[in-house]
C-alpha cells in the first residue's frame, strides 16, 4: 500500500467515527428539538414574609362644623393698616400684648323695673385673638362672645366695642389719641380721635342663636361732652 492510500484510509475512518457519534446523539433527542445549553444550579428563592394587614392611617380632621355654627356673638374688628398698630408709648414700640386686646367688646342687656332706664348688665364672656391678621390693606382681629350657659334669648342685647382695656385713664387715652407704631407714627388729625363704629342691638332666639356683628376703627372728630 502506498503512502497516499494509507492517508486516505485514515481520513475515511475519522469521518465514519464522527458520523456514528452524531447519529447516536440524535437518537437520544426527539425530532426537531434543540439541546438546551448546559445550565448551572440556581439558589431557591426565600419565600417572602407575609405583611400584616394595612391599618387605617388617615389623619382624623377636627370637626369644625360645630364651632362654625356655635351659638354666640361673633365678628371682626378692622382698621386700615396705614393707621399702624396699637401703642401706649407714643408709637415707639407696638404693644405686642395689646395689638388686638387693645379693643374691648361688650354685650349688655338692660335690667330694672318697668318704666325706668334700668342698668346695663354684661352678659357672656368675650375673647379676642392676640395678633391681628393683615387682609386687603386692613388689620383684622376676630372676637367672640360666648358663655357656658346660653346667652339671653328673646332679649335685646346691645353689642359695642371700644379702645381701652386698662384701668388707667392715661393709658386708655394714649390708645385713643396718641401715636401708634408704624411709618411716621400714625396719629389722628388734630381734633380727631380713634373711634370704633358698628355697635348695634341684636336679639338671639332658639332658631337663630348665632349673630355676627363687625366693627371698624376710624378717625372721627372729638365730640364735646354735654354741659
Residue 59 has pLDDT above 70, yes or no: no
Over the stretch 87-120, which tens digit does the pLDDT of each residue have? 989 999 887 777 999 999 999 998 876 666 778 8
For residue 165, the model assigns a pLDDT of 85
Q: How far apart are CA 152 and CA 123, in angstroms?
A: 8
Please provide residue 102's backbone torsions phi and psi, each rounded to the nearest 5 degrees. -65, -20
Q: Give the angle subtended at the CA of 173 by the CAs of 172 and 178, to the nearest 5°.
A: 115
**Residue 124 backbone class (left: φ over 0; alpha: ψ -120 to 50; beta: rest):** left
For residue 58, the model assigns a pLDDT of 29
Most confident of 37-51, 55-69, 162-176: 162-176
For residue 70, the model assigns a pLDDT of 84
- Give the residue with greater pLDDT, 160 vs 12: 160
Q: How far apart are CA 215 and CA 161, in angstroms?
A: 7
pTM of the full structure:
0.67
Is residue 130 within a helix (H) or strand (E), and if so which, with residue range? none
Over the stretch 153-186, which tens digit does the pLDDT of each residue have? 999 999 999 999 888 999 999 999 999 999 999 9
- Quote the mean pLDDT of the chain: 77
Cell of 33: 428539538
Amino acid at each position: 500500500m502506498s503512502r497516499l492510500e494509507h492517508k486516505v484510509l485514515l481520513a475515511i475512518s475519522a469521518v465514519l467515527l464522527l458520523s456514528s457519534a452524531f447519529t447516536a446523539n440524535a437518537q437520544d433527542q426527539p425530532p426537531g428539538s434543540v439541546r438546551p445549553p448546559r445550565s448551572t444550579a440556581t439558589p431557591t428563592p426565600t419565600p417572602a414574609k407575609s405583611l400584616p394587614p394595612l391599618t387605617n392611617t388617615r389623619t382624623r380632621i377636627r370637626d369644625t362644623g360645630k364651632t362654625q355654627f356655635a351659638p354666640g356673638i361673633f365678628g371682626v374688628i378692622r382698621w386700615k393698616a396705614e393707621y399702624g398698630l396699637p401703642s401706649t408709648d407714643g408709637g415707639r414700640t407696638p404693644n405686642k400684648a395689646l395689638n388686638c386686646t387693645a379693643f374691648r367688646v361688650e354685650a349688655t342687656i338692660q335690667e330694672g323695673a318697668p318704666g325706668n332706664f334700668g342698668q346695663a348688665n354684661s352678659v357672656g364672656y368675650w375673647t379676642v385673638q392676640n395678633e391681628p391678621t393683615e387682609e386687603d390693606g386692613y388689620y383684622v382681629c376676630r372676637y367672640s362672645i360666648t358663655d357656658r350657659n346660653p346667652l339671653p334669648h328673646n332679649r335685646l342685647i346691645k353689642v359695642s366695642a371700644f379702645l381701652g382695656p386698662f384701668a388707667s385713664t392715661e393709658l386708655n387715652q394714649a390708645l385713643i389719641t396718641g401715636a401708634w407704631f408704624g411709618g411716621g407714627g400714625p396719629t389722628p388729625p388734630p381734633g380727631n380721635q380713634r373711634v370704633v363704629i358698628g355697635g348695634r342691638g341684636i336679639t338671639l332666639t332658639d332658631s337663630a342663636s348665632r349673630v355676627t356683628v363687625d366693627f371698624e376703627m376710624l378717625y372721627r372728630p372729638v365730640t364735646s361732652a354735654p354741659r
